[in-house]
Structure 1
């Protein structure tokens, strides 16, 4: 009721039409009348409120961008206070699941940074609010609504339960002063590892980057089409990826520690590469090399590359908790992040692939995106997108991770 009275004192009641259509202000908009409300009414209900945004907090650059660029924008334009809370997605879903079981109608989480199997689980268990993306003006204004990654997340129908945030794509990189040759396919990658024994590895699954890299090698050796509608059955998947399992087992003796163990995370692999212990690294951030060179972590001869057949790309998204206390505010913040203006800052400041449709940008906006200097050692956005392969269904990912643990680790 305090929020309701605050909105009333701000003049929502005096707006007349807004009250007639939405009952009695913010409480109605957060409830069943939110769907019927106009965007102006949703924006007014969100004004001068607080929105919490929960997600992985390990990227300091992104944290700074959210806490300054995005927070300043929504504060200036809507009076919204954005509170960014760093929390592992598993802990977020555990928290929401507990609130769901307890019948909590109002939680503490508004927005969630989410994608892939976590979205699959959250949506399947009723932990997300939606559909809501059809209410966002910037979805229509800036996003390709027919893009497969707008419609599906790891082959899971989105159905309006999350909005795109940024695009990611698996890339590899090496210091060309140390290893002039850059492998263009799985066969050349094998030869590369044989030439530099003990100097290549990947993060142990289920690390996000390590898991994606293994899926890229599966695509290289088994193709990708068959997995798009495959049943998440252990034996079915194991049979389909047997050529990749044989490849990975053959690869093991030439990896760091002879493939008996693997580094625990992508952060560890990054540090090993930066220290010269490894001659190759990988990332889901396609422009991460530029940042590393700029910060003096990598040499200026470090170069990004992808396999000729392509590498897996996906989109990460923003969802709203099923019991968000401020769904209107969350929608307004998500809509702001989808704007050309904020997507441009994400592209320039964070070096993340934007989710805007280039064909929907104005000439001025296109020029602004084209003028962004991304730095050294990277592939262009056009080169990346032309080598972009679709993700597998989210349900296959944990199955593949289990098979990898049983059939690859230590199998020398």
Structure 2
């Protein structure tokens, strides 16, 4: 009887595992062909940050027509900050709303960690996408962990970025190259520098660069996950630097741009002489679009480096069109879409595709992309690359900044 019971339990566990494995595909069909057929003629809504004109044009002018012509899917872009997207999904989850209005979200970092912990995502999806299997390094930790959080297949890689500063060469012939030089430059040029509120991911990334400097390097934070004790011990110099800079910032630090869009506007109007961002190549299309002055160039802080990461696409738990979402994501991972995204005409960011997995024609096309003179060389970017740290530091910096900087006299 004991042996029969063990067999029964083993069979039960096996069937349960099969059921869980089928949980992903049961909503979308048993094969990729089924998924594509179900998606044909449907509408897919992608909710994403809308603060970059080049990205928006890429989605509206190239991606949407491409997805429509190749798969018969109508892709609609809905601009919304990721934090607001997650709040919407959390509300729907709490209300038991099984069919929402969001099919795809652009996500990474602490937002992914919160979405995963809140069970707001559908999946795993990586294993379903043919283009991910064909053109990406499926064994890489880059696509297994997002800011230290295990991805578990819940999101698919869309792009790679590095943080750079953009400046007007006509006004700043010799930009600072270290944190110390940046602080000195701000003091010598009062009102001509600021950074976004750290609730915005660009502003938070700026703080993390200064944190790396004050801690003596990023390595300090990689030995373990988020540690509040380590954060407090390593951040004293960070708050000193930010408070020393404050009176010489734009509007004397009494207010900060709410996001990168506002900082870009100040830069384009000449109110400040620098901007910044998580896209090493966006200056190219911003100049092309007439937003940034033609004398715009880029730099990184050589003593700290340039934080880089991968960003992803995911499907919410209650997407009303999961088949269409998967088809659209697969299209966005294609060599065609990644190549156009990498050109300065639209976005200009780097690709997560493995070039050695491409055929000769496309590999040569990628290698032949010429970037704007405003963009740092691949060699400079590679040499300055430093990794992200646990997403817990992002939230901690956001909260502490208010106490340590905003509310300090």
Is the TM value for this pair above 0.5?
yes
Residue 238 of structure 2, aligned match among 241, 244, 250: 244
1:162-201, Cα deviation, whole Å (9 max, x unpaired): 0011222210122222221122211221222232233222
Give the conservation status (yes or no) of the 8 Å contact 1:116–1:154. yes
1:149 Cα offset (Å): 2.8
Residue 193 of structure 1, aligned match among 186, 206, 217: 186
1:341 Cα offset (Å): 0.7
Give the conservation status (yes or no) of the 8 Å contact 1:303–1:378. yes
1:369-407, Cα deviation, whole Å (9 max, x unpaired): 233333231113443233221112112211111112211
Match of 1:26 in 2: none
Match of 2:13 in 1: none
3-state SS of 1:351 partner:
coil
Cα distance in structure 2, aligned partners of 1:333 and 1:299:
35
Give the conservation status (yes or no) of the 8 Å contact 1:238–1:403. no
User: TM-score, normalised on structure 2?
Assistant: 0.86
Residue 322 of structure 1, aligned match among 298, 317, 334: 317
Structure-2 change in CA distance of 1:202 and 1:378 (3 Å):
same
Say yes or no: does 1:110 pair with 2:103: yes
Structure-2 change in CA distance of 1:205 and 1:384 (3 Å):
same
1:343 Cα offset (Å): 0.4
1:90 Cα offset (Å): 2.6
Which stretch shifts more, 163-172 or 362-371? Answer: 362-371
Match of 1:366 in 2: 363
Residue 341 of structure 2, aligned match among 346, 360, 367: 346
Which stretch shifts more, 396-405 or 57-66? Answer: 57-66
3-state SS of 1:299 partner:
coil
Match of 2:4 in 1: none
3-state SS of 1:408 partner:
helix
Cα distance in structure 1, aligned partners of 2:260 and 2:209:
16
1:296-323, Cα deviation, whole Å (9 max, x unpaired): 3333332101122411112221100112
Q: What root-mean-square deviation, in Å, do the aligned CA atoms of Structure 1 and Structure 2 show?
A: 2.3
Structure-2 change in CA distance of 1:60 and 1:195 (3 Å):
closer
Which stretch shifts more, 128-137 or 245-254? Answer: 245-254
Give the conservation status (yes or no) of the 8 Å contact 2:103–2:319. yes
Match of 1:266 in 2: 260
1:106 Cα offset (Å): 2.2
Say yes or no: does 1:225 pair with 2:219: yes
1:353 Cα offset (Å): 1.8
Match of 1:376 in 2: 373
Alignment of 1:278-357 (within 5 A): 278-308=272-302, 309-348=304-343, 349-357=346-354
Cα distance in structure 2, aligned partners of 1:279 and 1:301:
11
Structure-2 change in CA distance of 1:364 and 1:231 (3 Å):
closer
Number of residues of Structure 1 aligned to a counterpart in Structure 2: 384
Give the conservation status (yes or no) of the 8 Å contact 2:132–2:330. yes
Q: Name stretches of at least 5 consecutive residues in structure 1 with no aligned partner.
A: 1-28
Say yes or no: does 1:388 pair with 2:385: yes
Q: Name stretches of at least 5 consecutive residues in structure 2 with no aligned partner.
A: 1-21
Alignment of 1:19-34 (within 5 A): 33=26
3-state SS of 1:350 partner:
coil
3-state SS of 1:407 partner:
helix
Residue 93 of structure 2, aligned match among 71, 96, 100: 100
